[in-house]
């Protein structure tokens, strides 16, 4: 199993909600893009939340739109060994310093976890600091999580309170 590394955080001083995944998929790592696998529904779901068809936009414009709407991105796992893209295959992980990033964002009031693995690791990393933020547990946007899209969307639409 080769060592995989996450991407840099996508945030700015206007970030109000930080969406945290686990670790980029193989396809995302190759493309060097968050949620680069077109089967992953992340861009569809977040686009519905902010009212922008993100899927039709190029990657840099997607990121700009997220930032414009107060949405930041990062992963809870800084590096890990993993065969394939499944979270269940993550081994020897090192976590990102989510608490330090959160503390550096003056308008941050919510942290959303994209899936159970992100939530388990991220909440441990935040510890008692999690009490400072509204924590939003989201069904994974991954195609490996087979919950119907409309059910995922219903949960993700709860993010509307935190975006602008």
Residues forming the active site? 40
Please work out, in degrees rounded to the nearest 5, the angle formed at the alpha carbon of residue 14 by the alpha carbons of 158 and 121. Answer: 55
DSSP string, 9-46: PB--TT--EEEEESS--HHHHHHTSTT--TTS-HHHHH
Contacts 24+ apart (CB under 8 A), 30-35: 32/7, 33/59, 34/7, 34/10, 34/63, 34/73, 35/141
Question: Could you report how far apart the first and last alpha carbons of the chain are, in Å?
Answer: 41
Helix or strand holding residue 79 (H, E): strand 77-81
Alpha carbons within 13 angstroms on the beta-carbon side of residue 158 total 17
């Amino acid at each position: 199993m080769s060592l995989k590394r996450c991407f840099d955080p996508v945030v700015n001083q206007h970030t109000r909600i930080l969406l945290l995944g686990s670790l980029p998929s193989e396809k995302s790592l190759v493309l060097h893009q968050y949620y680069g696998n077109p089967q992953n529904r992340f861009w569809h779901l977040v686009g519905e939340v902010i009212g922008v068809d993100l899927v039709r936009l190029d990657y840099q414009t997607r990121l700009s739109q997220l930032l414009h709407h107060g949405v930041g991105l990062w992963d809870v796992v800084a590096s890990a060994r993993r065969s394939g893209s499944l979270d269940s295959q993550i081994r020897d992980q090192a976590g990102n310093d989510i608490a330090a990033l959160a503390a550096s964002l003056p308008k941050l009031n919510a942290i959303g976890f994209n899936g159970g693995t992100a939530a388990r690791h991220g909440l441990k990393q935040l510890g008692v600091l999690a009490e400072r933020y509204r924590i939003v547990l989201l069904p994974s946007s991954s195609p490996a999580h087979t919950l119907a899209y409309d059910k995922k969307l219903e949960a993700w639409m709860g993010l509307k309170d935190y975006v602008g």
